[in-house]
Chain A
């Protein structure tokens, strides 16, 4: 265990240095996440929020929180792993006494930390334009929403890891990821809070992992209604389920592995 922590922290430091090198790129990533703000504009500009019983202030807090949650739960492991698999970089990783995905995990964490200041700047701009929606959540709220955002990140990381493992069978797993991204986009609450969904969708959407990716953490952070204990519990269930599937797929995938490139 101690050994693993040492490896992880070393990986993390090198990846962080690497990410800092590409600050401009990460700033652009942060900017490309502003869609929730445009959606907020449609909601409030047309008075649509009144029909779902959320005041415009609460809704703007919700969308700002959704922006933050999205910033810190973006996962792109499929694309990196696909490239690495195609170019044959995976082969040396597989020999190392370390699961290759720990390297990618460190990469993601390092990127999130690099991203943080940029997201903060965007939030400051948001408050300049919407001063009435300024709020400071209590420390416990911040901690709980951080935990649930991290869980949301873990769920997405594991989901994508499962898809990435499919690279062992088909070389282009990223198109499956693009397919999965569609329900993530529309059902997670990034574009509209799940509470605004019509009943025929609400009845089944909570059985899927999607509302727990953005809507749940964002509702906690913004102070909107959320069942914290139940939500965290369900997040944990999804994490365990996907972890088991990932282990299975990875195991049979590595047996299938044929080295490419080099």
Chain B
């Protein structure tokens, strides 16, 4: 593995996809409006829940807003990197162009995961950080170095889990060819990451921490910010994310053995 080579290739990827995206300048503006409205909408939904109650699953409104912020950041990450790239896998496999990817002297998972970048998601990430900093103010949180490090670690782990989930589902395309909708199912489940996991019933909580580990993705980083998260949860999150990542990598290698080129 030559890190310098990969960085260079990655900068070329970014350059080319930015020039593609800037073709549609009005789109950038519309997407900005969409992410702002989306955030307003979900805060509105949250406010409906809190009209006649102070706490949902032990979280008050100001605390639940942190989860919204974390969700917005992660959704931005998904829209910037995961969604534009992993949607393409279906195309590579249907049209048989995966052949060309596999022939290149570069890691195929790297190529598939980082080829495109969509700048509109970056706006969402900024919005998310804006919400989080507002939450610092309303929740009277003072950020020290230690909690900052923990937040960074948990956020990185969340991104790793999210990436692995997307990549795992996209990999199944090699067998089923059309799994475009499977990512849509994942998306609608991940949507529930906007709310504190404690507000769901016990059985759903189990489902969201094992089958699709949404608990680890948004709730734990928010708990870290509030200083509510015990050390074992953070360690567990790190372990879960590493396991997921290694598994997704192994699964890709395994799936490639079953790849039979289309067309040609």
Q: Residues of A at under 8 Å CB distance from B?
A: 22, 24-25, 28-29, 31-35, 38, 41-42, 45-48, 51-52, 170-172, 175-176, 178-179, 182-183, 185-186, 191-192, 196-198, 201
Q: Are A34 and B199 in contact (CB under 8 A)?
A: no
Closest chain-A Cβ to B233's Cβ sits at a distance in Å of: 22
Q: How many A-B residue pairs have CB under 8 A?
A: 91
Contacts of B223 in A (CB 8 A): none
* Residues 24-65 of chain B, each 1 if its beta carbon lies under 8 Å from chain A, else 0: 101100110110011001101101110111001100000000
Q: Are A42 and B200 in contact (CB under 8 A)?
A: yes
- B204 at interface, CB cutoff 8 A: yes
Closest chain-A Cβ to B258's Cβ sits at a distance in Å of: 18
Decide if the interface of chain B is mainly helix, strand, loop or mixed.
helix
Q: In the complex, what residue of chain B is closest to A174 when comparing beta carbons?
A: B27
Q: Are A32 and B195 in contact (CB under 8 A)?
A: no
- B137 at interface, CB cutoff 8 A: no
Beyond contacts A42-B56, A175-B24: 6 other A-B pairs, Cβ-Cβ < 8 A, are A29-B181, A32-B184, A32-B187, A35-B192, A41-B201, A46-B53
Q: Are A45 and B48 in contact (CB under 8 A)?
A: no
Q: Are A28 and B200 in contact (CB under 8 A)?
A: no
**What are 14 residue pairs bridging A and B, where the CB atoms are less than 8 Å apart in the complex?**
A28-B181, A28-B185, A32-B187, A45-B201, A47-B53, A48-B49, A48-B53, A178-B30, A178-B31, A179-B33, A179-B34, A182-B38, A182-B41, A196-B51
Q: Are B37 and A31 in contact (CB under 8 A)?
A: no
- B188 at interface, CB cutoff 8 A: yes
Interface size class of B (residues with CB under 8 A): 35 or more
Q: Are A42 and B185 in contact (CB under 8 A)?
A: no
Contacts of A196 in B (CB 8 A): 48, 51
Q: Are B31 and A175 in contact (CB under 8 A)?
A: yes
Report the separation of the CA atoms of residues A179 and B33 in the bound assembly, to the nearest whole angstrom: 7
Q: Are A198 and B48 in contact (CB under 8 A)?
A: yes
Contacts of A176 in B (CB 8 A): 30
Q: In the complex, what residue of chain B is closest to A180 when comparing beta carbons?
A: B34
Report the separation of the CA atoms of residues A178 and B47 in the bound assembly, to the nearest whole angstrom: 23
Query: Contact partner of A45 among B33, B38, B185, B200, CB < 8 A?
Result: B200
- B191 at interface, CB cutoff 8 A: yes
- B176 at interface, CB cutoff 8 A: yes
Closest chain-A Cβ to B78's Cβ sits at a distance in Å of: 14
